[in-house]
A and B are shown apart, each in its own frame.
Chain A
Amino acid sequence: MNAELFGSQVNVWVDALVRVLIIVGMMTVVVMGLIWFERKIIGRFQMRLGPTRTGPFGLLQSVADGLKLVAKEDVRPKNADPWVFELAPYFVFVPTFLMFVAVPFAFGFQVRVLELGLFYVLAVSSVSIVGWVMAGWGSDNRYAMLGALRAAAQAISYELPLVMAMIAVAMVAGTLNLQEIVLGQSRLPNIVLQPLPAFIFFTATLAELNRTPFDIPVGESEVVGGPFVEYSGIRWSMFFLAEYAAMFILALLGSAIFLGGWAWPMGEQWGASWQLLLTTVKAGAFIFLIFWVRSTLPRMRVDQLMGFSWKVLLPFGFAQIMVNGFILVNGWPAVTSGVLLGTTSLAGLFAVGWIVQRSVSRPRPRPVMMARSEAAQ
């Protein structure tokens, strides 16, 4: 069987191989760019310059980091379980890399159009937590063990809202095929119809990536770096690479299913380079938002974190699915159901905002000692 690649017919094996190779190259470049971008952005937020010495604007910072990491000694603790310790980087990186197969960059610019694309991405993305737990368990280190358990608890808690958000989108789109989901948004992006799932998706993405404010698994001040305490050199950088690759691919996925990917606002007629530019801008905005949140919010406490997922996001996710189902099953005209979907979802988003606002601004009980000393005066 043949497949079309750059306008010519080639064998499917060759086609898949070439496409995966392109993804490998692009992922490496983008991850290096992202590391530089994050350091620059965070630097600016903190009124610093960020990297400036390595190349123009510090652009070669990631190359320098990479060289340093390759040339660092790779230590394995004596007590570590050799197999679990050595295999953990593979289990973290390979699932992340597998997500790249289904996500579209432009019309026809993906490795494969999978009929169950959304489900596949979800299924593959949740495997990498196994690698995290392996890293924690295999290191035989208390900090690593604690970090791994926290990572597991957090990842499974936030996976449920993520699934709910994706189901809501799949209901509106009527398909799980990512290319068709993007094509269906050529007139109106899903974020207009489904603002609440978009918010849930973004929050759950932050939690799945262990980024601030959901970074208790890797908190430096509590568990000195979490599951990766005992990893050094290139082995440690594999986890780092996987994290940034996951950020890249989840931003692409978010821009594809909520922001209209390459289709909105101009449909599929325009050229591939325009579509790629559009995808880049949308995914870039998503990533910038992640960095912005990181430099703005402090780390959450573990009970707040679990409570937010189980008591706020999950019930609202359920409610969104039921409301979507009711509106869509009645077969009203497209405009009516669109307006209803948008307004109900927006109302849900405001309700979530109100709950967060109320819990943030609630007066805290004062410590007993302080109250007593004030009473004595």
Chain B
Amino acid sequence: MKVWGVLEHLVSGSLDALFANYLAVLIAAAFGFILVLSALIGSRLLAPFSEERNKGTTYECGMLPIRRAATNVGVRFYLYAILFIIFDVEAVFIFPWAISFISVGLVAYYEMVVFVGILAAGLAYAWKKGALQWQ
């Protein structure tokens, strides 16, 4: 019975406003999915298809590819990825601060100065070490 009650709430939408807002996100996600799917199905119905043995060859400017493409990857990409994670996590911390620091006052500001100072020191260190130089 309880499950039925929740379902009824869901259908009539009598849940809180937050849920009602993110409901639209769910519907939009479903619609985006359906949009791509319908285009692919339409193409499946309309487009021609012919069986030809060499059609499935990987494109490499007419040469036959040697081995798989998924091989070792340059370490530079990895360095940037690590740096990105550090600064992106920090951005998540700054967002709530950015809309509330005025009401907290100067203390909040100086705390953020220290926080960003540490990060800036990290960036300076990476810069000095040459991690930001693509080579």
By a beta-carbon cutoff of 8 Å, the part of chain A in contact with chain B is 1-3, 11-13, 16-17, 19-21, 23-24, 69-79, 89-90, 93-94, 96-98, 100-101, 111-115, 119-120, 137, 139-145, 149, 152-153, 156-157, 159-160, 163-164, 167, 170-171, 174-176, 224, 229-230, 233-235, 237-238, 302-303, 306-307, 310-311, 314-315, 318, 321-322, 325-326, 328-331
Known: A1-B12, A176-B95, A325-B101. Contact between A238 and B21, CB under 8 A?
Answer: no
Check if B84 sits within 8 Å of A167, measured CB to CB. Answer: no
Task: Check B88–A74 contact: CB distance below 8 A.
Answer: no
Give bound CA distance, A171 to B103, whole Å. Answer: 12
Residues of B within 8 A of A113 (CB): 21
- Give A23 to B108 CA distance when docked, in angstroms: 41
Name which of B27, B31, B39, B98 has the most chain A CB atoms within 10 A of its CB. Answer: B98
- Asked if B46 and A70 sit within 8 Å, CB to CB, the answer is yes
| Selected contact of B28 from candidates A97, A303, A331, CB within 8 Å | A97
Assess the B95–A170 pair: CB atoms within 8 A.
yes
Give B residues with C-beta under 8 Å from A: 11-15, 17-18, 20-25, 27-29, 31-33, 35-37, 39-40, 42-44, 46-50, 55-61, 65, 68-70, 73-74, 76-77, 80-81, 83-84, 87-88, 91, 94-95, 98-99, 101-102, 105-106, 108-109, 112-113, 116, 119-120, 123, 127, 132-135
Q: For residue B56, which residue of chain A has the nearest CB? A: A78
With both chains docked as a complex, state the minimum distance between the C-beta of A315 and any C-beta of chain B, in angstroms.
7
Given A77-B58, A160-B88, is A98 in contact with B25 using a C-beta cutoff of 8 Å? yes
Closest to B119 in A: A318
Q: Give the chain B neighbours of A234 by CB distance below 8 A.
A: 39-40, 42-43, 47
Q: How far is the CB of B118 from chain A (nearest CB, A)?
A: 12
Chain A residues in 8 Å Cβ range of B15: 1
List residues of chain B with CB within 8 A of the CB of A306: 80, 132, 134
Chain B residues with CB below 8 A from A89, complex form: 36, 40
Residue B108 contacts which of A101, A153, A329 (CB distance < 8 angstroms)?
Answer: A329
Q: Determine if B27 and A73 form an interchain contact, defined as CB atoms under 8 angstroms apart.
A: no
Contact among B58, B112, B135 with A230 in the assembled complex (CB-CB below 8 Å): B58
Alpha-carbon distance between A152 and B78 when the two chains are bound, in angstroms: 11
Cβ–Cβ < 8 Å partners of A318 in chain B: 116, 119-120
Roughly how many angstroms separate A90 CA and B36 CA in the complex, as a whole number? 7
- Output the residue of A16, A170, A171, A237 with the most chain B CB within 10 A: A16
Residues of B near A144 (CB, < 8 A) are 69
Partner of B99, one of A160, A171, A331: A171
Sampled A-B contacts (15; CB under 8 Å)? A16-B27, A20-B28, A70-B39, A72-B43, A74-B47, A90-B33, A93-B32, A119-B95, A153-B81, A160-B84, A235-B40, A311-B132, A315-B123, A321-B98, A325-B113
Whether B21 and A310, one on each chain, are in contact in the complex, defined by CB atoms closer than 8 angstroms, is no
**CB closest chain-B residue, reference A177:** B99
Residues of chain A with a CB closer than 8 A to B133's CB: 303, 307
> Are the C-beta atoms of B70 and A176 separated by less than 8 Å?
no
Choice from B21, B28, B87 contacting A100 with Cβ under 8 Å = B28
Contact B60 A77 (CB under 8 A): no
Cβ–Cβ < 8 Å partners of B22 in chain A: 112, 114
> Bound state CA distance, A88 and B57, in angstroms?
20
Q: Is the CB of B135 within 8 A of A75?
A: no
Distance between A153 CB and nearest chain B CB, rounded to angstroms? 5
Q: Do the beta carbons of B109 and A326 come within 8 Å of each other? A: yes
Q: Contact check, A140 vs B47: say whether CB atoms are below 8 A apart.
A: no
Asked if residues A70 and B87 are in contact (CB atoms below 8 Å), the reply is no
Among residues of A, the one whose C-beta sits closest to the C-beta of B108 is: A329
Contact between chains at A75 and B55 (CB < 8 Å): yes
Pick the contact of B87 from A78, A314, A329 — CB < 8 Å?
A314
8 pairs of A and B residues whose beta carbons are closest in the complex = A78-B56, A97-B32, A234-B43, A12-B13, A303-B134, A94-B32, A16-B24, A156-B84
Of B36, B101, B123, the residue contacting A314 (CB under 8 A) is B123
- Which residues of the partner chain B approach A139 to less than 8 Å between Cβ atoms? 58, 69
Rounded to whole angstroms, the CA-CA distance of A149 and B78 in the bound complex is 10
Decide: B23 and A97 in contact? CB cutoff 8 A.
Answer: no
User: Of residues A100, A163, A171, A329, which shows the largest number of chain B Cβ atoms within 10 Å of its Cβ?
Assistant: A329
B21/A70 in contact, CB under 8 A: no
Q: CB-CB < 8 A to B88: which residues of A?
A: 156, 159-160, 163
Q: When chains A and B are docked, how far (Å) is the Cα of A98 from the Cα of B55? A: 36
A16 to B21, CA, bound (A): 9
What residues of chain B lie closer than 8 Å to A315, measured between beta carbons? 120, 123
- Docked pose: A11 CA to B36 CA in angstroms: 27
Least CB distance, B32 to chain A, in whole angstroms: 4
